[in-house]
Amino acid sequence: MRNAALLSWQPRLGRLFIYATLIAVAALYLIPLWVVLLTSFKTSADIRSGNLLSLPDVWVLEGWIKAWGTACTGVSCDGIRGYFVNSTVMVLPAVALSTLLGALNGYVLSLWRFKGSELLFGLLLFGCFIPFQVILLPMAQTLGWLGLANSTAGLVLVHVIYGLCFTTLFYRNFYQALPQEIIKAARLDGAGFFTIFWRIVLPLSGPITMVTLIWQFTAIWNDFLFGVVFSAGDNQPMTVALNNLVNTTAGVKEYNVDMAAAVLAALPTLLVYAVAGKYFVRGLTAGAIKG
Amino acid sequence: MILAQTQTARRPVRLGLTLEHVLPKLVLAPSLVLALVCIYGYMAWTGYISLTPSSFLPMYELSGFEQYQRLLENDRWRVACFNLALFGGLFIGACLLVGVLLAILLDQRIRAEGALRTIYLYPMAISFIVTGTAWKWILNPSLGLEKLVHDFGFTSFEFSWLTDPDKAIYTLVMAAVWQSSGFVMAMFLAGLRGIDSSIIKAAQLDGASLPRIYWRIVLPCLRPVFFSAVMVLSHIAIKSFDLVTALTAGGPGYSTDLPALFMYAHAFTRGQMGLGAASAMMMLAGVLAILVPYLYSELRGKRHA
């Protein structure tokens, strides 16, 4: 803000130009969403006669109802309802588990360091960077052996394992900033490993837990690669189902259905963003800059 | 009596100490071992598969670097790598440009800054599959942008990049920049807010003009942010799979193929596991080629500081 005050362009024309540019760019970012929403409320005939930005002649829920309940996604024609449920069932335990384990790992790696723990952390950190293509084949094989191939449980496992790299990083960096004296004092008072974690460290972890939960929720809900490789048929997550729905070539293309399904797929993460955007941004920059 | 008391008192403490030494490791061990095996073990495993003639099922007799040779001679792979360079270059360049400009403009005491930031960033919360679906519709050659411009009265306007093998790759750049540039803006904005204002004040007192101050002082200060952003963006580019699947599916033909798509197609749908594994290893090499110099300079920078 201080810089801004110093550098603000004084002439009125300059300010006008800045505002005009910023608003025009904001419109560019919003137009795709607007187009998608408009299209989802049109009838197929309306889509063909109008254009991207024309308002629907009549606002109808046809596309939404079909997308939710009867649209064809590859083999079956039960809409995306079931896949939405799949994603929900997958995302909740995966987020909870990876966050909890990340908190414990971060706690050990920052406040209970031992010989070699920094190296372990470095090794784990590298997992944030690998292109996942490099682990897909062995993981598919392993899930097969475990009897988890093409199951939601298998997907949860995969997301927990590779999510750990990020969650551990988040918590470790956060706990690193806690004063070691707290832990020392608590230990002198006779508090043990878990007591310190539950009573002292965890109550201080509010902000980082929000960041981690939101980061994990967004990453796992939006994941496509693991979904398409490790699941099949009725167990697929939402993103895979959306892609199947859009690319199902049977029959006439119904763009209103595609767009309604796309909005439904984006809705949970958009809601999270609307409610807790602050933490979302913090997670992005923390994950990006430090990771 | 006193001695006995202190001894009994000490014993539990010592027990506690040993338990406390082991407990952190015990807690860490399961998830960490699992993660490390699933990172390094699987990487080695994929590396091994890439040295075998595996097709539909994994085979474990070695055949040397045959798959890599096949890969380098594969025309589709060459197209994919060329596309990655083109897409990555344009995507990173455009995101940096848009990001830094938006950040500078937003840093001018803008009234609705919070709202604008929220708008610039929301695409980042959306899945690339949704973005791809939306842009596929917007760029639809007959009903999308083209029709919109026709309805505005410019009836000779033609826009069919999505189905043009030479132009389709640019549609990927558009959608990807739309999705990621707001995030780059957020990084630069955070960087701008961290610059010491006294430097700028001094420059102003010396009579430097505003563009000059930005060009000579502010932008050089943003160097670290710039490198972090390049790092993140190149990472997104190399991993790009969802967006290309949803928007072009690699088509028309394989004109918009990317390494990640190539790997998936060969390893999982075309029964060319060895070739797929080799392409995955090449992707890893690509990431390392960017990551290692970055980490090296980061660590060196820290040591100097």
- Does residue A277 belong to any structural domain of this protein? yes
- Does residue A76 belong to any structural domain of this protein? no
| ipTM of the modeled complex | 0.89
- Does residue B191 belong to any structural domain of this protein? yes
Same domain, A176 and A35: no
How much is the pLDDT for B9? 45
The predicted model scores a pTM of 0.88
Q: What is the residue range of A23's domain?
A: 2-69
How much is the pLDDT for A88? 95
Q: What is the residue range of B242's domain?
A: 75-304
- Torsion, CA A59, CA A62, CA A67, CA A71, rounded to 10: -150
- Please check whether residue A141 is in contact with residue A231, taking contact to mean a CB–CB distance below 8 angstroms: no
How much is the pLDDT for B97? 96
Q: Is B206 on the interface with A (CB under 8 A)?
A: no
Q: Is A1 on the interface with B (CB under 8 A)?
A: yes
Same domain, A186 and A139: yes
DSSP state of A85: H
- Please check whether residue A35 is in contact with residue A52, taking contact to mean a CB–CB distance below 8 angstroms: yes
- Does residue B94 belong to any structural domain of this protein? yes
Distance CA A109, CA B212 (A): 46
User: If you measure CA to CA, which chain A residue comes closest to B26?
Assistant: A108
Considering A33-37, A128-132, B114-118, B215-219, the range whose residues carry the highest mean pLDDT is A33-37
Q: Is A29 on the interface with B (CB under 8 A)?
A: yes
How much is the pLDDT for A221? 95
Question: Environment class of residue B220 by beta-carbon count within 10 Å: exposed (0-12), middle (13-18) or buried (19+)?
Answer: exposed
How much is the pLDDT for A27? 95
* Structural domain ending residue among the three candidates A13, A38, A69: A69
Question: Environment class of residue B38 by beta-carbon count within 10 Å: exposed (0-12), middle (13-18) or buried (19+)?
Answer: buried
How much is the pLDDT for A1? 44
Rounded to the nearest angstrom, the minimum Cα separation between B168 and chain A is 17
Across B97-114, average pLDDT: 90
Rounded to the nearest angstrom, the minimum Cα separation between A51 and chain B is 5
Distance CA B131, CA B109 (A): 31
The partner residues of A73 in beta bridges, in order of sequence, read: A76
B302: pLDDT confidence band, cut at 50, 70 and 90? Answer: low
Residue type, A276: A
Across B217-233, average pLDDT: 88
The partner residues of A76 in beta bridges, in order of sequence, read: A73
**Cβ distance of A273 and B122 shorter than 8 Å:** yes
CATH code: domain of residue A132:
1.10.3720.10
Q: Is A20 on the interface with B (CB under 8 A)?
A: no
* Structural domain ending residue among the three candidates A69, A104, A121: A69
Residues 242-271, chain A: which have Cβ within 8 Å of B? 242-243, 246-247, 255, 258-259, 261-262, 265-266, 269-270
B17: pLDDT confidence band, cut at 50, 70 and 90? Answer: low
Same domain, A6 and A99: no
| Interior/surface letters B225-241, b for 16+ CB within 10 angstroms, e for the rest | bbebbbbbbbbbbbbbb
| Cross-chain CB nearest to B200 (options A7, A133, A270) | A7
Confidence check: pLDDT of B8 > 70: no
How much is the pLDDT for B86? 95
- Does residue B14 belong to any structural domain of this protein? no
CATH code: domain of residue B299:
1.10.3720.10
- Does residue A107 belong to any structural domain of this protein? yes
Across B141-167, average pLDDT: 84
Distance CA A274, CA B122 (A): 8
B89: pLDDT confidence band, cut at 50, 70 and 90? Answer: very high
- Does residue A74 belong to any structural domain of this protein? no
- Does residue A178 belong to any structural domain of this protein? yes
- Does residue B240 belong to any structural domain of this protein? yes
- Does residue B69 belong to any structural domain of this protein? no
**Cβ distance of B276 and A137 shorter than 8 Å:** yes
What residues of chain A score a pLDDT lower than 50?
Answer: 1-2, 5-6, 9, 288-291
Mean pLDDT of chain B: 86
Residues of B in contact with A258 (CB under 8 A): 133, 137
Residues of B in contact with A130 (CB under 8 A): 39, 43, 284, 287
Task: Please give the tally of structural domains in chain B.
Answer: 1
- Please check whether residue A201 is in contact with residue A178, taking contact to mean a CB–CB distance below 8 angstroms: yes
* Structural domain ending residue among the three candidates A24, A41, A69: A69
Q: Is B213 on the interface with A (CB under 8 A)?
A: yes
Same domain, A117 and A139: yes
Distance CA B207, CA B204 (A): 5
- Does residue B193 belong to any structural domain of this protein? yes
Across B216-239, average pLDDT: 88
Confidence check: pLDDT of B15 > 80: no
Rounded to the nearest angstrom, the minimum Cα separation between B190 and chain A is 9
Same domain, A223 and A179: yes
How much is the pLDDT for B216? 86
**Cβ distance of B148 and A109 shorter than 8 Å:** no
pLDDT digits over B52-86, tens only? Answer: 888 878 778 888 888 899 999 999 999 999 999 99
How much is the pLDDT for A69? 84
